[in-house]
Amino acid sequence: MRVCKCFVCVVVISLVLCGYHGAYGKVYIDIDSPTFNKFPIAITDFEKLKGSEEKENLSSWLSDALTKSLERTGLFDVVDKKAFLDNQGGSAVENIRFADWKVIGTEYLVKGNFLFDGKDLITEFRLFDVIKREFILGKKYYGRIEDRREMVLKFAGEILLALTGNEGVFNTKIAFVLKGNKTSDIYTIAFDGYDFARITNYNSITLSPRWSPDGNDISFTSYKDSNPDLYLMSLRDRKAKKIAGFRGLNLSGAWSPDGKRMLLTLSKDGNEEIYVMDIKSGQLSRLTNNFAIDVSPTWSPDGQKITFVSDRSGSPQVYLMDADGSNVRRLTYQGGYNTSPSWSPRGDRIAYESMTDGFFQIFSIEEGGSNSIQLTSGTGNKESPSWSPDGRYIVFSSKLGGRSKIYIMNINGSNLRLLYESVDNVIGLAWSPKF
């Protein structure tokens, strides 16, 4: 494996990447502005370098895979290859006819090449500013043919980082539960729909996956020992240990931002109440003490507040309290059934599901209880909202016509895309941190 002077090892697939950086000024575009327009970008087929073997039409595979990755973000308008006027090879600035790209509405251009010797794959990606006629950045990746998808995702993140200052969520996963007739288990799937994996296989009911802040562990509730107990699993070795096994419900809740504590719902004292557990010592502190049912706790990004669901007002509603259980106040007033709160990593909004016209829909609301926005509509229930770690997307489940589906949307409800579907019920979604 070749090594260059500046390198970063991608441990997952053992790639080495080298960067070629131009003098491009870092003036980031505010993609959260209401006036933001998608980036018009063209991606040419990759040039096959002399001596390279052909494999699965890599020239178009690499460009098409990068196109799909960028389109999934909802931030790019990729120009159709049929509109290209300049199809010449080479990726040096002096060889690019920028005027031909500008006339078809392109503002950014990706060109690249590859060398495959039957064993090792070397790819080079370059991004250009068409308007300024400038080279922005380039990356070269070394690996195997099996690593080509990871190479594409790495450069897609580099493009986002160069244009917005944020590398996106290409290296994230979504945990969820598939529930059949008698059993359920936890699975994960990557942001782009690949890497579908089964995490538990207990021939029992397993629910409520929650990621640790570093993404190395998942907590969940399982009936595998006949009682709904709380478990903690290391994703490195898939070994799970029981961390709460009180009589009655031991329901997994969110981890604290520092990863040292965990919220959970216990019914050991008669009805469902919210507790916080010190993960290292197992010490419990009770946060709610009410005749009503209190469930679904989640921390604010700064760890200072907790949102949860309670029926203390007569129907399930979303509430807020300080991290020590004090200063409880009701957040939602519209709708007779509001549940499943999920706090944006930016701390500005809370997503939740609300019964509207006979179906659950996804809403978001400010921490102070104002500016409630309905994000989904139509028939079929939309449930279990969870935010991406950059706060730009929400994933949720939907069931209609005997099929359960996982969708991802931008936080304003736009750019809806299907991630996964199954005949089994999809419940309990949780978006991972960045790996």
Question: The domain spanning residue 422 has which CATH number?
Answer: 2.120.10.30
> Is 198 in the same domain as 158?
no
> Is 85 in the same domain as 183?
no
> Is 194 in the same domain as 298?
yes
Spell out the SS3 assignment of 117-181.
CCCEEEEEEEEEECCCCEEEEEEEEEEEHHHHHHHHHHHHHHHHHHHHCCCCCCCCEEEEEEECC
The domain spanning residue 67 has which CATH number?
A: 3.40.50.10070
Quick check: is 2 in a domain? no
Quick check: is 244 in a domain? yes
> Is 57 in the same domain as 88?
yes
**35: Cβ contacts below 8 Å, ≥ 6 apart:** none
Dihedral in degrees, nearest 10, Cα atoms 218, 220, 225, 229: 120
Quick check: is 3 in a domain? no
> Is 218 in the same domain as 84?
no
Task: Give the separation between CA 306 and CA 285, rounded to whole angstroms.
Answer: 14
Both tokens assigned to 97: 């006819």
165 C-beta neighbours (distance < 10 Å), count:
13
> Is 234 in the same domain as 309?
yes
For the chain, 435 residues long, give each residue's pLDDT as a single digit of tens.
333 333 333 333 334 444 444 445 565 667 766 667 899 999 999 999 988 777 779 999 999 999 999 999 999 999 999 999 976 666 778 889 999 999 999 999 999 999 999 889 999 999 999 999 999 999 999 999 999 999 999 999 999 999 999 999 999 999 999 999 899 999 999 999 999 999 999 999 999 999 999 999 999 999 999 999 999 999 999 999 999 999 999 999 999 999 999 999 999 988 999 999 999 999 999 999 999 999 999 999 999 999 999 999 999 999 999 999 999 999 999 999 999 999 999 999 999 999 999 999 999 999 999 999 999 999 999 999 999 999 999 999 999 888 999 999 999 999 999 999 999 999 999 999 998
> Is 155 in the same domain as 195?
no
pTM: 0.90
> Is 205 in the same domain as 143?
no
Spell out the SS3 assignment of 183-206.
CEEEEEEECCCCCCEECCCCCCCE
> Is 281 in the same domain as 193?
yes
Q: End of a domain among 135, 164, 193?
A: 164
**290: Cβ contacts below 8 Å, ≥ 6 apart:** 273, 310, 312
If one counts the domains in the chain, the total is 2
Segments forming the whole domain that contains residue 370 = 173-431
Q: What element of type H or E holds 45?
A: none
112: β partners? 125
> Is 110 in the same domain as 242?
no
